[in-house]
Amino acid sequence: MKLNKLTALILGLMSSSALFASDISIDLPSSVPIKTFEVKENQIGIGYIMFDVKLEIEDDYYGDKIGDVDYKTNGFIYTYASSKESFFGEEFETSFTAGTIESELKDNIFVDSGYRYNNTYDKSGFYIGYRPAYSYALYSEEKMNINIATSLHYIFFTLGGDYSISRSDGQAYAYDETTYGLGLKPTSVLQGTYKPLSNIAVSFYGGLSTFIALSVTDYENKVDSSDYDTEGEFLAENITPLYGWDIAYKFSNDSILNLSTAFANYSSNQSTEVVVRYIFTF
């Protein structure tokens, strides 16, 4: 029953992106949940998250293509043990995340829909997140485990800067924008873990993820200062397949070094996420 409820909830959250929203203009880390060695109550984990994503974005009002934007985030993750049952199943760990966001327009000159563009895009910001992780065991033996691992990454983010669009037919405009948003990134993966030795765990996984958010943006025309406003928006990306691997090494003092890498490549959304954590007794 728990598995059915969890599956229905995750699919419902992910399906909302296909039903209600337009193309997303920002994406943030999922911190894919992988359960290998148990984190004890007197242990904490501290680590680093790197997330790179390329998104094809456009101006919402005029519909002009801005271009392919690379968002790069660098941040940290703080994890502590959790072993409680909930509506979602067994919560095996809870994490807090935070990081900076930088952007780069890959090609400022390009041709689209018969027009030649010469654009700019420069935005930066930060995010703060809370990410509980849950696991449902499908198969468990001493050296081999198969789980469904799920996380719900709740994220506050802000992004500010400017962009400009110059089209070959003479149309040109530029805006300063500041965005504040609250998002949710649900991720669910099927995880297979093999332990060739008692202190080494190697995992491979594949699953689905999406990102949905409510945001408020203040914008101002850089040429005409009387053109300014505040707009609310519902952001969402398509359900994105992802896959990756994880390796964990357990030291003799029960501390754990963990490296995880996830990849997604779907339509105009291409991303790479790397998480390195060291879990130790305090």
Distance CA 58, CA 65 (A): 4
- The SS3 call for residue 143 is coil
Residue 260 to residues 119, 122, 222: CA-CA distances in angstroms? 36, 30, 43
Q: Which residue has the higher pLDDT, 129 or 88?
A: 129
Return mean pLDDT, the chain.
88
Q: What would the pLDDT profile of 228-254 be if each residue is shown by its tens digit?
A: 889 898 888 778 899 999 999 999 888
Number of Cβ within a 10 Å radius of residue 15: 12
Distance CA 13, CA 41 (A): 31
Q: What would the pLDDT profile of 203-213 be if each residue is shown by its tens digit?
A: 999 999 999 99
List the CATH code of the domain at 2-281.
2.40.128
Domain range annotation of the chain: 2-281
